[in-house]
Structure 1
Amino acid sequence: MRQALAVPLLLAASTQASRLAPRDSDCKDVHVFLARGNNEPYPGRQGKLATAICSGLSSCDYEDIKYYNPLESVYCDSVFEGAKNGIDQITAYNKKCPDAMLVVSGYSQGAHVVGDVLGGGGGTFFQGCIQDSNEGLDFKSRPANKIVAAMVFGDTRHTADQPYNVLTGAGKNGLFPRTSEMLDNLAEYSDVLHSYCVETDPICAQGNVVETHLNYFDVYTDEVAVWVHGQIKAAGGDASRSSSQSETTSKATKTRSKTMAQETLTSTSNADEPRTTSETTTSITTTATSATTDNSSSETTTTTGGSVSESSASETASAASAPTSDNAATSRNSQLGGVLFVIGALIAI
């Protein structure tokens, strides 16, 4: 079974060289890197965020960090590939466009990837898989010192009480908190890094409301874009949103997030009791929008005041089921893997 699941990953690795071919796009003043969530098509939910960031900027585009991460992929291998490719892609763009300001964003599994790009990675994760170690980018030198904003949303490796944590889950641990060495490295980025986590998110805060993991970009996109524009302006770039608009947007998104969280909690019976993955899934009502996507390739997209196209896969939550473990000692990791499996299926919708 495990060998069968590894086959797509090996096939993807064989085409990695062609996927990571040098970009032909012109240099932009602001370049955004996106690391998508598990089972998402490119660019995934963060396409909305890339559009908001580039809106109002005279020279801005985005690029996907490429890695193979459908539901059947081995989690550790996917994250390691994403971290390696992320470092390579960021380094390559900075070498080509040394004056560009860089923005890096990751969601869910992609948040794990971005954290590894910045702070280093490695460890044991879902179903006992072991991720090889990697060193993060050196904050004091290129290309890291050209990163003006970095964001992670619903991070599997969210760690409580870090200086860059924001939202109600700031004091919560995710499924796999980071080591002290990694946290020391990430602390170097505190002035440019925000880790977004809602306390009911099952991935970054071990909560029990799946919807709060899925709707970060419905609730917080404008607020995050305002912050990124402020970071760009502070670094000497051109960010055009007014302070009054920023203040209004921030208040509106905070109010909306509070309302949505309350509504979700109200509609979830016995929210304080432990619930199985399947029970949590059935409590969520989702609307699937089918679209045709190419999950194996992506090009740099220019979004100067325009929009980034968003894609959705045709899988439905009803197709998701938690994988079982053949070893009682790995039961917790198996359960966590089931949570990610279900959320991965929902993310694709």
Structure 2
Amino acid sequence: MKASTIAVPVLASLASASPVEPRQSCADIHIFGARETTAPAGYGTSEGLVNMVKQAYPGATSEAIDYPACGGQSQCGGISYDQSASQGTTAVVSAVTALNQQCPDTKIVLIGYSQGGQIVDNALCGGSGSTLTGAALDAVKAAVFMGDPHNNVGLPYNVGTCQAGGFAARPSGFQCSPASTSIIKSYCDSQDPYCCNGNDANHHQQYVSIYGSQALAFIKGLLDAA
């Protein structure tokens, strides 16, 4: 969400990160969830979709990305939004790479909400520090961004009613690299003031409720084909 002191309410229940399991108990599917700005440590609003995937695939494991999720507010110790997003991007790349090294056959799903969507976006599509490459990138079978401030009109993976850009919009003509856009869906509606140019902050928290079933079907289609 926006790089300011504005705090968007967190409506989902929160869960703490769990450690990666040993190689001998690697799951077939592992989900990483990245929370929104100001949400306490855990999954934030992404938890709703993380749980939907886990319910669809019994035995799947999940882990919250550990990063500041700051918007420049004083309680973050002076960490700016951009610094937080940069640290978050590094955290996504590190977590996915470590999981892939430990569990090379595990299929990975990435789910990011708001700033969490931005850092997953960065890790897959570039724009802020390191990106996923090689076997770690290949292990990512599906990625969902919800309320991503990088949203801009015309991106091939866009879903929703937004016809503008978020406050950290990708430049016109941007092309995602190194990831394939076929594994990505990005959900944003026109009412949203963070991934679009609307004025309904509450709508920003509603993407799992509105698009969760659609996003799950997208993820399942990719996982089942992998």
Partner of 2:62: 62
- How many angstroms does 1:66 deviate by? 0.7
- Between the aligned partners of 1:98 and 1:39, the Cα distance in structure 2 is 33
Name the structure 2 match of 1:43: 43
SS at match of 1:157: coil
TM-align CA RMSD:
2.3
Q: Which amino acid aligns with 2:158?
A: N
Partner of 1:93: 99
| 1:21 Cα deviation from its structure 2 partner | 10
Superposition pairs for residues 62-211 of structure 1, below 5 Å? 62-70=62-70, 71-72=73-74, 73=76, 74-122=80-128, 134-138=129-133, 141-169=134-162, 171-179=163-171, 183-185=175-177, 188-211=179-202
Partner of 1:223: 214
**Deviations, residues 146-178 of structure 1 (Å, cap 9, x unaligned):** 111101111111121111111111x32111222
- Aligned to 1:23, which of 3, 20, 24? 20
Unpaired segments of 5 or more residues in structure 2?
Answer: 1-16
CA distance in 1, matches of 2:114, 2:176: 21
Q: 2: distance between equivalents of 1:233 and 1:27?
A: 18
Distance, in Å, in 1 between the alignment partners of 2:105 and 2:111 is 19
Q: Distance in 2 between matches of 1:23 and 1:52?
A: 20
Shift in CA distance, 136/181, structure 1 to aligned 2, threshold 3 Å: farther
Residue in structure 2 matched with residue 11 of structure 1 by the alignment: none
Please give the alpha-carbon distance, in whole angstroms, between the structure 2 residues aligned to 1:212 and 1:201.
Answer: 6
User: 1:49, 1:217 within 8 Å by CA — same for their partners in 2?
Assistant: yes
8 A contact 2:146–2:188 mirrored in 1 = yes
2:86 and 2:119 in contact (8 A); partners too? yes
What TM-score does the superposition give when structure 1 sets the normalisation length? 0.54
**Higher relative contact order, structure no. (Cα contacts within 8 Å, ≥ 6 residues apart):** 1
TM-score between both structures, scaled by the size of structure 2: 0.82
Q: Give 2:169's aligned amino acid.
A: P
The answer to whether the 8 Å contact 2:158/2:187 transfers is yes
User: Alignment partner of 1:228: what SS?
Assistant: helix
Question: Is the Cα contact below 8 Å between 1:159 and 1:172 reproduced in 2?
Answer: yes
CA contact (8 A) 1:119 1:182 kept: no
How far residue 121 of structure 1 moved from its aligned partner, in angstroms, is: 2.6
Q: Summarize the Cα distance change of 1:176–1:89 in structure 2 as closer, same or farther, 3 Å threshold.
A: same
Aligned partners of 2:18 and 2:64 also within 8 Å:
no
**Cα distance, 1:21–1:200 mapped onto 2, change above 3 Å:** closer
1:290-301 to 2 correspondences below 5 Å: none
Structure 2 counterpart SS, 1:86: helix
Q: Does the 8 Å contact 2:146/2:186 carry over to 1? A: yes
Cα distance in 2 between the residues matched to 1:88 and 1:39: 22
CA gap of 1:21–1:33, structure 2 versus 1, over 3 A, is: closer
How far off its partner does 1:210 sit?
1.3
Partner SS, residue 182 of structure 2: coil
Alignment of 1:241-256 (within 5 A): none
Select the structure of larger CA radius of gyration: 1
Classify 1:149/1:99 alpha carbon distance in 2 versus 1 (closer, same or farther; 3 Å): same
| Secondary structure of residue in 2 paired with 1:31 | strand
Unaligned runs of 5+ in 1: 1-19, 123-133, 236-349
Q: 1:21 to 1:60 in 2, by over 3 A?
A: closer
